[in-house]
A and B are shown apart, each in its own frame.
Chain A
Amino acid sequence: MKSGWLLRVLTNALGVLLALFFLLPLLWFVFAPFNERATLSVRIPEAFSLHNFEVVLNNDTAIRSLVQNSLLISGGVMILTALIATLAAYGFSRGSLPGRSIITYVLLLFSSVVTGTASLVPIFVLIYNIGMFNTYQGVILTLVGGMLPTSIFIMRDFIDSLPRSYEEAAMVSGASSLQIVRDIVFPTLRPGVLVVAVLAFVNGWGAFLTPLILIRNAAMRPAAIAFYQFYSDEGTPNIPLISAYAVLYTLPVLILYLIINARYGFRFFGGIKQ
């Protein structure tokens, strides 16, 4: 074909444009953190420096938000979601409840209906009334509640594809249901639990709106909100420090996601499995 090379050049040119479209807004984060005098423009620093990171690491409030508050919230969300979703998915998959596939499906849809700021209006009132305002438990439980339907949906797929013979063998030798879950289901389901746990962790780590609304105490706020540490009283951002803090805050989720993506691919992103 004569037009073959022209088409190839055109598609590659378009590909490069698309790559630039996605890259340019992020490019700033590649250089600014290493530039003591970073501005909002993308500039290769004259002197490569770790000074910004040094200052950020010495800011106790910011670091406590990152390694204590954020970790506490996303760790809590991760453990509870993985545990509760696995139990529920196992109950749905191996039990004999009527209409269980409809139930998981309707729950999944319901979680996309009761979402965002609209759901936080009644949740705020609820959390306030049961005395969980300004507590980590309030934030964690709210996030877990929102994540459970998707997580159960994903876990059910994993469990449904698991052969029952191990469990039956264990039953014959007299193991209890809880023992079966602990000693057989959890270990054989490790990939599924891992995917659900990582999704939950990343979700809790990135959560901005829920902790913003449910936690008023500045010392308890997670990193997503602690960015305001680096604004002056007049609201001017300290650009070099923000860029360094953003890198420290983003790297964990980026690494986790890329690992999961490399190992399990897209199937599980967003909980949509065709």
Chain B
Amino acid sequence: MSRPEVVIIGGGPSGLSAAIELRKRGVSRVTVLEREQQAGGIPRHTAHAGYGLRDLRRVTTGPRYAAALVRSAEKEGVDLRTGITVTSIADLPDGLKADAVVLATGVRERPRSARLVPGDRPAGIHTTGSLQQFVTLHHQNVGRRAVVVGAEHVSFSAVLTLAHAGCEVAALTTPHARHQTYAALAFAAAGRRRIPIRTGVDIAEIIGRTRVEAVVLTDGSRIECDTVVFTGDWIPDHELARTAGLAMLPVAKSPVIDSGMHTSQRGVFAIGNLVHPAETADICALDGRHVATAVLDWLTIGTWPEAVVPIEVEEPVAWASFDARGIAVRVSEIVTGQLRLTHAGEVQWISTEREWLPNRSITIPTTEMKASRFPYAGPRLRIDVIR
């Protein structure tokens, strides 16, 4: 491998950051394949502040953040190719032969159909993804009055976008007992606009033959609206990972990785929201920087873990997967207790007793761990909550 080649699939925050870092650390040929016409990923169409804190050490808007990453990549000599769809990592386009492949294909929100919401199929139904592209990239109005399904970070991002597009928000809905974002964001987006958060309910039915006319909630109440935005409920865009036969986590539906972002297949790494659906863009970017170490070790001395196995979890812990800072964890319901990480039965880390919220990013910082067990590849890690 005199001139090793790294191919990164996905030109969002994690993929671009990985490419930039690998170039900075001397890898001569780093190619990013992006299927959209522009690289930058989801932040390209999230036109509000809140990007770059952890990686760029400044806060900017999504589009500016995406543009800054693209500029950096170009400056560092990354071979950035857009409008290219990869259908198999074993058969890369443009005749590329990779010594290492980094999957950074990102995440999407489950649409209405995947959530099995019954009713009519009128126009006016969005995910945050489609909403923000219509509004930010194409400057379109989406409707006059919307219901936002979900009350996590991205749900409030959708509220900001709707406000920008002049669409009143009738309510946010969540099946949980409270919203799952920062109080400041909830207030800035919804509270100061007096938008109600309907807790303990789901969407039971969508009404409207050609255009959305109303939604019915599971408590029987009805909200008149012409737009419904389904937010959150993330699922990795894992088609390439699954097609390649990588071991997958059953609940997160993401590739199983270790702390070095190695997957179950030699030479294939996975980073970003593909492996932790979903964290903020800056955390994805840190993943990109983080994976560079393991990629270099693989390219130079052929280091690969013997086994890459999932972290075991016990309900209400829904899933756990490594990120650049440690272990990303999600719980499936509101729970009060101590979050605990054990290795072979021995406690490695334990939190104070507190409340844990579903859909809310939880991180176990592995740097604080007592044993020198990281980087970690082997079995017998387990996460649970002591109530």
Co-complex (A, B): no
